[in-house]
Amino acid sequence: MSAFVTDQFRILNAGSFVESISNNSYYAFLGLSNPTPGSVGFGRIDNWDTSTTNNPVDNFQYLSHYRDTSLFGKKITTENARRVIRKVQWVSNTPYDMYRHDYRQGNESSVSKTARLYDSNYYIITSEFKVYICIDNGSSTPDGTDPTVTGSLIEPTQTDVEPSVVGSDGYRWKYLFSILPSDVIKFDSTEYITVPNNWLTATDSNIQTIREGGDSDTNNNQIKTVYIENGGTGYSNGTASIIGDGSGATVSIAVDSSGTITSVTVTNGGKGYTYGIVDLSANSGSGSKLVPIIPPSKGHGYNIYEELGTDKVLMYARFDDSTKDFPIDTKFAQVGIIKNPETFVGSGITFTENAFSSLYAVGLTTSRNVVIGEQITQSTSGAKGYVASFDKDTKVLKYYQDRSLCFGNKIDQTDSNSTTNIIAFDSAGDITFSQSTPSSASINNDLTDTSVVVVNNKQINLGVTFANGLANPEINKKTGTIIYIDNRPEVQRDSRQKEDIKIILEF
């Protein structure tokens, strides 16, 4: 027995995820400042930027490692998450599919030749960032042959409630929504169109007008189009009713000299239809096949998520130099999303601030050069870490510790005689550097009970609070659920650039 998960289930899950953002703490994070540490490391390979084997691994061992190597994160709010659909751009003289409720194997879309509505090109975005669905593309075939669809010649611009033909090309477009300029800047993509949030509950008059068709009772499974699959012969001009589980729909029929039905115009869309047929019992012809096109949900424009197939979510975050949480001299090679990390201090308390640093920090007594990603070791405790950043003005070095520091066999961690615990840095011993010179530096123990230093008579917020020269991350790196991870070619951060992270989640 065959079975499948429906498209509507995926659309529902995407919607539920967007709704969950307001009740949870989701963060986009950047991580892994040393993807090529000179030898194969845990989750690392020597030719990271070019190899196809640096794919992330989805198991508990690696998920813990991604948290260990994270650098910093930016909270994702509902304003920075949108459901999205494939981008289908209107281009002059390009043919488009029409919306139909019954695409399947054996009844594929006329242009895209797909058996699934959401894979066909039945909607467009215009140069004015307006989104329309195609109600009719002129593909009706009164002679019963395979449909031939000509290209659309006139770009729609209207914002009327009712679908309309905008020119002589025969295309009838239904306006749905316009993308706001702010959303264009934030969410614009070469592959996806962003869809408004809260469409079903929005009180905006423009959305309400489209959603309700001007009347919440009118836009109730109202039929807009009847497709002619075969016009038959021997029919007369006249009117007919659409019978089914709805009521009130009527059409006007026009025929040629042979009595073949050449056009069917909906004169009253009625309401409440989930199926229907054109009742030609009072007409004398035969052989016709007329297909009333059943709209989605309660009608075109009522539920754009179902109508457009929004089973993907785009999440956006920007990393810049606006906070000390985001050091500009670091590198990263991983991008991820984590849900509900907890604060470093306080068991079970979810971190809720706008941004976090997941790096440890140590204040040094002198400024110096460092190599991002190099290993540091404390001479007394034996603690080890990887350099993520160093601020020459504040003399604050940021680092992280992960399990690759503890094993000779860094891939699967099976060394039987290795030290297997991460040792914390303390305030006593000097820090030695594996690559940069000078080879050692002392900890500034006077940097205590403060998150602020004064440099050249200017106060600088360090982003974290120091005690005896040391500071902990803002989050407990053992907490939070990793829901997305992506290994990327290594990126070097710079004060002149901003990283706009756009992540697509598919449900």
Distance CA 239, CA 477 (A): 71
The β-bridge relationship of strands 130-136 and 312-319 is: unpaired
State which amino acid sits at residue 399. Y
Element (H, E) at 454: strand 450-455
pLDDT of res. 411 = 57
Is the confidence at residue 39, as pLDDT, over 50?
Answer: no
Is the confidence at residue 335, as pLDDT, over 50?
Answer: yes
pLDDT of res. 105 = 94
pLDDT band of 40, cuts 50, 70, 90: very low
Is the confidence at residue 38, as pLDDT, over 50?
Answer: no
Are residues 251 and 267 in contact, defined by beta-carbon separation less than 8 angstroms? yes
Are residues 400 and 67 in contact, defined by beta-carbon separation less than 8 angstroms? no
DSSP 10-55: HHHHHHHHHHHGGGS-EEEEEE-S-S--SS--TT--TTTTT-S---
pLDDT of res. 51 = 58
Residue keyed to tokens 């400042």:
33
Element (H, E) at 67: helix 60-68
Are residues 264 and 290 in contact, defined by beta-carbon separation less than 8 angstroms? yes
Bridge partners of 269, per DSSP, are 249
Residue keyed to tokens 């297997």:
420
What radius of gyration do the chain's Cα atoms show? 31
Percent of the chain with pLDDT over 90: 64
pLDDT tens, residue by residue, 385-406: 999 999 998 899 999 998 777 7
**DSSP code at position 480:** S
Which structure tokens are listed for 224? Answer: 């807009």
Which structure tokens are listed for 219? Answer: 């836009």
pLDDT band of 4, cuts 50, 70, 90: confident
The β-bridge relationship of strands 396-400 and 360-363 is: antiparallel
SS3 355: strand
Going by C-beta distance under 8 Å and a sequence separation of 6 or more, which residues neighbour residue 98?
A: 110, 122, 134, 135, 136, 137, 139, 225, 227, 293
Distance CA 49, CA 36 (A): 9
- Report angle CA 304, 219, 249 to the nearest 5 degrees: 125
Asked whether the bond before 295 is cis by omega within 30 degrees of 0, the reply is no
Distance CA 187, CA 401 (A): 34
SS3 419: coil
Average predicted confidence (pLDDT) for the chain: 89
pLDDT tens, residue by residue, 229-241: 999 999 999 999 9
Nearest to 116 by CA among 103, 125, 129: 103
Across the range 123-150, mean pLDDT stands at 94
pLDDT of res. 298 = 85
Residue 313 φ then ψ, to 5°: -125, 130
SS3 415: coil
Nearest to 73 by CA among 492, 484, 504: 484
Residue keyed to tokens 């030695």:
432
State which amino acid sits at residue 56. P
SS3 183: helix
Element (H, E) at 182: helix 181-187
Are residues 127 and 184 in contact, defined by beta-carbon separation less than 8 angstroms? no
Are residues 280 and 230 in contact, defined by beta-carbon separation less than 8 angstroms? no
pLDDT of res. 441 = 94
State which amino acid sits at residue 287. G
CA distances (Å), 430 to each of 1, 244, 298, 448, in order? 68, 83, 70, 17
Q: How many helices (H) and strands (E) does the chain have?
A: 5, 30
Are residues 376 and 431 in contact, defined by beta-carbon separation less than 8 angstroms? yes
pLDDT tens, residue by residue, 182-227: 899 889 889 999 999 999 998 888 899 898 875 445 567 889 999 9
**DSSP code at position 107:** B
State which amino acid sits at residue 415. D
Which structure tokens are listed for 432? Answer: 């030695």
Give the burial string for 4-43 (b: 16+ CB within 10 Å, else e). eeeeeebbeebbebbeebeeebbbbbbbbbbbbbeeebbb
pLDDT band of 45, cuts 50, 70, 90: low
Is the confidence at residue 255, as pLDDT, over 90?
Answer: yes
pLDDT band of 131, cuts 50, 70, 90: very high
Are residues 219 and 302 in contact, defined by beta-carbon separation less than 8 angstroms? yes
